[in-house]
Amino acid sequence: MTALADILRARIAATGPISLADYMAECLLHPQHGYYTTRPPFGAEGDFTTAPEISQMFGELLGLCLAQHWLDLGRPAPFTLAELGPGRGTLMADVLRATRGVPGFHAAAQVVLVEASPRLRGVQAATLAPHAPLWLDDTADLPDRPLFLLANEFFDALPVHQYQRDARGWCERLVGLRDGALCFGLSEPQSRPDLTAAFPGDPPGTVVETCPEAQRHMAHIARRLRDHGGLALILDYGGWQSKGDTLQALRHHAFADPLAEPGLADLTAHVDFAALAAGADGLAHRYTAQGRLLRALGIEARATRLAQGLTGAALEAHLAATRRLTDPAEMGELFKALAVLPATAPPPPGFD
Ligand code: SAH
């Protein structure tokens, strides 16, 4: 039993079952016992690996995509160069290194990092100190300026609600107690016209997920893009309207029971890109698979160039990393990329 399990059991015993979203939020971001507050999640010793940790090419290509679009928009200055959930700061470091040579880009950019975990802020500070980043708790505080934003594996970490349709309405999936242990259960059916409208015609038994936090962040981003222009690039796993129960717990690179050790496993859900696009009211969006985007941005040429300096095991690892990011059987198809931008702007590189 983890300390967080004791806290949650006491809370549920006192006030009743909690929503899956409440459970996820506590597991991930509890100030003392949350997963992101306490654990080093990334890399071989951690629980999962992300694209920027697999290869520097990921951040380089996305950085050049943002910078080219910034040039295409006539170099708006000053602007916000933002990342949501920067993890170890690797993606932003690769973006900044790759764009060093773009005239005026760094001088006009204010680097802004939206990060909830004080521990990870410390890691990001070590990586990005020379660029004097500004940390924010929330997208609500993003500056009122043109916005060029990246979010990789941020939206999948936001708490989701799950609802199961039955003949009488929608039952919310709750976390309660059975014989003193955490267990899943269902609420009484509720009439939810919003869910019925969003998921018409699904038979009883269908499970759907909603992510109000994702909608809230999207609204804040969309307002900056509408008022000041710019581009948001969101990469994550999921699909266009993800359906079903996609909650997943990862510990030491293996699937785990999401209720077994709260605070010790990473909890995520697939990102519903249709819902994100719908939340970007009054803006245009473009949607593609990660592998397609990286190929369109020139990953093959970049990979060949980097391979020239490598031999033996290092070369093998580099080739494997390239495949891992782009191959449809690996991350290339499961991971998607969504670009959000004003309808009047030209299509961003890689999305046309
Ligand atoms: N983008 C990084 C890390 C992904 S892990 C990469 O690709 O490697 C998710 C990141 O989002 C972590 O940095 C975590 O601390 C942060 N995070 C999770 N929920 C958050 C929230 N609600 N607000 C701000 N940051 C959050």
| pLDDT tens digits along 2-57 | 899 999 999 999 999 999 999 999 999 999 999 998 877 776 677 789 999 999 99
Q: What's the gap in Å between 57 CA and the centre of ligand 1? A: 20
In this prediction, residues 336-341 reach a mean pLDDT of: 98
Q: What's the gap in Å between 155 CA and the centre of ligand 1? A: 8
* Position 241 pLDDT exceeds 90: no
350 pLDDT tier (thresholds 50, 70, 90):
very high
In this prediction, residues 291-319 reach a mean pLDDT of: 97
Residue-level pLDDT at 284: 98
Question: Of 56, 84, 120, 154, which is best to mutate to test ligand 1, by the most ligand atoms within 8 angstroms of its C-beta?
Answer: 154
* Position 268 pLDDT exceeds 90: yes
118 pLDDT tier (thresholds 50, 70, 90):
very high
Residue owning the nearest CA to atom 11 of ligand 1:
85
Q: What's the gap in Å between 279 CA and the centre of ligand 1? A: 20
Residue-level pLDDT at 122: 95
Ligand 1 atom showing the smallest separation from residue 41 Cα: 5
154-206 pLDDT, tens digit per residue, is: 999 999 999 999 989 999 999 999 999 999 999 999 999 999 998 888 889 99
Question: Of 37, 112, 115, which is best to mutate to test ligand 1, by the most ligand atoms within 8 angstroms of its C-beta?
Answer: 115
Q: What's the gap in Å between 236 CA and the centre of ligand 1? A: 12
CA-closest candidate to residue 207, choices 249, 247, 260: 247
352 pLDDT tier (thresholds 50, 70, 90):
confident
Residue owning the nearest CA to atom 16 of ligand 1:
85
This prediction has a pTM of: 0.96
* Position 242 pLDDT exceeds 90: no
Amino acid type, 196: T
* Position 252 pLDDT exceeds 90: no
198 and 212 Cβ atoms separated by less than 8 Å? no
The Cα–Cα gap between 68 and 63 comes to: 9
CA-closest candidate to residue 104, choices 85, 79, 82, 138: 79
First to last CA, the chain: 51
In this prediction, residues 304-323 reach a mean pLDDT of: 97
Dig out the tokens for 87 from the structure. Answer: 């993890």
- Cα distances from 240 to residues 42, 177, 321, in angstroms, run 27, 34, 26
* Position 103 pLDDT exceeds 80: yes
Which domains, from first to last, does the chain contain?
Answer: 3-16+160-209 (no CATH), 35-158+210-341 (3.40.50.12710)
Percent of the chain surpassing pLDDT 90: 91
In this prediction, residues 59-64 reach a mean pLDDT of: 98
Q: Mean pLDDT over all residues of the chain?
A: 95
CA-closest candidate to residue 126, choices 92, 88, 96: 88
The Cα–Cα gap between 256 and 273 comes to: 25
SS3 for 269-316, per residue? CCEEHHHHHHHCCCCEEEEEEHHHHHHHCCHHHHHHHHHCCCCHHHHH
Q: What's the gap in Å between 111 CA and the centre of ligand 1? A: 16
